[in-house]
Amino acid sequence: MPLPEISFASKEEQLQYATNVLVEAGFTPEQIDRIRHKVGVGPGKIPYDKELTGQRRFMVQELLAARMSNKQIAETLLLSKETVSSDRIHNRQLWTNEILKSQDTWRARLVQEQDELKKKALESFELSKKKRVVTINEGREETIVRIEESAGESSFLSVARSCLEQQAKLIGLFDIKPQSTEKSGYKNFLDTLTKEVKKIREAERTASDRSTAIDADVKPEFDDDGEPVGNSRPMLTADQSDGEEEY
């Protein structure tokens, strides 16, 4: 929890306190006076060059660490509150960048160590595949040495896999989820529409088949000569009709 800002009985006490803080930080009274009164800066020129700007931001940071407020710092260094606020933001960004740079350095070092360990594990796995077998024949007083191939020690592969997982975690890839294969809304709409069209066509085809079918309960009708009439009359195929004579 940050300490509360310090208060002063007078402007002189505030200036003396700030001067002591800056002198302890390594600034000379001349440098402090140059920042406060812009010594050597003529009209129409840039108030601060690169060196003075760096010193001013350093002073702002030291006074902030000494529990002075933006307003108190502005009054002490004869700056606007906007300038003090801008320097404060700049200093915070520099600090953040340094922290991130430090993290990146350590992360890169750890990734390299995991990579070296992984290589050693894989090399050891390859060596474990080859076993040196020595056979001693006491009768002939001879020694036979041969190399046999095996599946290798799986423990080395487990180490290599663990190294890969640690590398993935360090570079932020371990928690990445695979992209979803869920269909888009438009694709779903087209699939649903196709299914509905198929259902409608099947219903229409079923209704058409029923309308042309003959009811099994209806008895066939015949004329006086015994020939079927109406729906009871059988339909002739094209081959059958070609054999008939016209009268």
Higher confidence at residue 131 or residue 140? Answer: 131
Give me the mean pLDDT over the 151-165 stretch: 86
Q: What is the pLDDT of residues 164-188, one digit of tens each?
A: 888 888 887 766 555 555 555 667 7
Residue with tokens 């890969």: 164
Helix axes 154-170, 81-128, angle to 10 degrees: 170
| H/E stretch holding 135 | strand 130-137
CB atoms within 10 A of CB 31: 18
Tokens of 171: 């570079």
pTM above 0.75, yes or no: no
Query: 124: closest CA among 148, 72, 159, 167?
Result: 159
Q: What is the pLDDT of residues 216-234, one digit of tens each?
A: 455 556 566 656 555 555 5
